[in-house]
């Protein structure tokens, strides 16, 4: 009985401590780890939210770029951090959705972070070089690809990346095979599309200038409907690819073990920052739509993506030895 009472006392003390931590947060600087270099789109999103969150919270929220090992350095630092809300990180599908199925070390990653919010989502444009490829529509290109039986090529931002997986998901749904040519990022993958070295690629909103100048042509977008970044381009859904509607997203997460009260407080602060007009406008110009979700939306999105990605691995369309 005495041990039972001691256990109850300790549990109550833990609850009181967690509640007090949530009430006091933030009493000092909050750091957001970003697994990418400064200057990129993901970094810009994190900094925009950090700036507005600082205003909302009346406390400094800073970004620390922790690059290397394909994001694992930042992720490992987050996993080791105290669950007190002072170390957070940018959450991306390349880590949460792909790592658990491509790296055995992270097989139980779903237990090693606390989801806070899916902040924004974006889409892909299915791009060709109109000087090399004369296809007038997505269906035209797929018809050509079937006729040439795997002779067409496409570039991606790297083997095993979301660009690679979503490209193969789209091609699988269309009943087409093509040769994958991996690069180190979207920029070089697009450069070789412009050079005529590959036949098509997936681009984010970063390709808008090239599309506006007529240097690339967007045959379809991976949004459910139209995407105003590439006006006039049909959705994949409209061209018959109904199960490969790809949405890239960025979010925020904390270390494992954050209390529900603290998670709710961090979520509320970040949602308020995301809905500020200046943030909404900046994100729109980058091709992002604000989602500002509840914490539970993130693991649900991860599970949904992993079903698709695991199927691509099992079918052999994506081979990890290419990495």
Model pLDDT for residues 92-146, shown as the tens digit of each residue: 998 999 999 989 999 999 999 999 999 999 999 999 999 999 899 999 999 999 9
Instruction: Convert the pLDDT of each residue in 191-224 to its tens digit.
Output: 999 999 999 999 999 899 999 999 999 999 998 8
Residues 233 and 259 in one domain: no
Of 286 and 220, the one with more pLDDT: 220
* Low-confidence winner among 2-11, 59-68, 78-87, 162-171 (lowest mean pLDDT): 2-11
Instruction: Return the DSSP state at 149.
Output: T
Residues 109 and 45 in one domain: yes
Answer with the one of 197, 222, 245 that is the final residue of a domain: 245
Residues 225 and 131 in one domain: yes
Q: Check residue 149 and give its pLDDT.
A: 78
How does residue 13 score in pLDDT terms, banded at 50, 70 and 90? very low
Q: Check residue 9 and give its pLDDT.
A: 53
Residues 162 and 138 in one domain: yes
Instruction: Return the DSSP state at 234.
Output: P
Q: Check residue 6 and give its pLDDT.
A: 55
In a domain, 65, yes or no: yes
Instruction: Convert the pLDDT of each residue in 300-312 to its tens digit.
Output: 999 999 999 999 9
Q: Check residue 158 and give its pLDDT.
A: 87
* Residue-range definition of the domain harbouring residue 66: 28-121+248-310
Residue 15 has pLDDT above 80, yes or no: no
Of 8 and 41, the one with more pLDDT: 41
Instruction: Tell me the two tokens of residue 256.
Output: 């494992």
Residues 241 and 257 in one domain: no
Report the percentage of the chain scoring pLDDT > 90: 75
Residues 218 and 275 in one domain: no
In a domain, 6, yes or no: no
How does residue 322 score in pLDDT terms, banded at 50, 70 and 90? very low
- Residue with the two structure tokens 């001691």: 6
Q: Check residue 287 and give its pLDDT.
A: 86
Distance CA 110, CA 123 (A): 24
DSSP SS3 for 315? helix
Count: domains in the chain: 2
Residue 2 has pLDDT above 90, yes or no: no
How does residue 323 score in pLDDT terms, banded at 50, 70 and 90? very low
Q: Backbone dihedral region of 263: left (phi > 0), alpha (psi from -120 to 50 degrees) or beta?
A: alpha
Answer with the one of 197, 216, 245 that is the final residue of a domain: 245
């Amino acid at each position: 009985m005495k041990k039972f009472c001691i256990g109850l006392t300790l549990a109550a003390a833990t609850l009181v401590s967690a509640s007090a931590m949530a009430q006091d947060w933030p009493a000092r600087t909050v750091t957001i780890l970003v697994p990418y270099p400064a200057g990129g789109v993901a970094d810009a999103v994190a900094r925009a939210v950090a700036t507005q969150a600082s205003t909302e919270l009346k406390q400094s929220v800073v970004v620390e770029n922790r690059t290397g090992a394909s994001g694992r350095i930042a992720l490992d630092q987050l996993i080791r951090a105290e669950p007190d809300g002072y170390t957070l990180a940018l959450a991306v599908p390349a880590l949460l959705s792909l790592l658990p199925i491509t790296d055995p070390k992270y097989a139980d990653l779903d237990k090693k972070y606390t989801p806070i919010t899916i902040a924004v989502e974006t889409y892909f444009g299915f791009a060709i070089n109109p000087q090399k490829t004369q296809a007038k529509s997505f269906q035209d290109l797929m018809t050509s690809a079937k006729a040439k039986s795997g002779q067409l090529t496409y570039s991606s931002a790297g083997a095993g990346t979301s660009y690679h997986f979503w490209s193969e998901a789209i091609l699988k749904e269309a009943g087409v095979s093509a040769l994958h040519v991996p690069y180190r990022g979207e920029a070089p993958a697009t450069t070789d599309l412009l050079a005529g070295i590959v036949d098509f690629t997936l681009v984010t909103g970063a390709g808008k200038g090239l599309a506006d100048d007529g240097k690339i042509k967007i045959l379809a977008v991976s949004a459910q409907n139209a995407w105003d970044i590439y006006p006039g381009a049909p959705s994949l859904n409209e061209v018959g690819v109904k199960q490969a509607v790809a949405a890239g997203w960025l979010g925020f997460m904390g270390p494992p073990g954050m209390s529900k009260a603290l998670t709710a407080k961090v979520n509320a602060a970040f949602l308020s920052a995301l809905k500020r007009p200046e943030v909404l406008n900046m994100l729109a110009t980058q091709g992002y739509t604000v989602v500002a979700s509840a914490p539970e939306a993130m693991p649900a999105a991860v599970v949904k993506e992993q079903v698709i990605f695991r199927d691509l691995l099992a079918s052999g369309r994506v081979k990890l030895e290419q990495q």
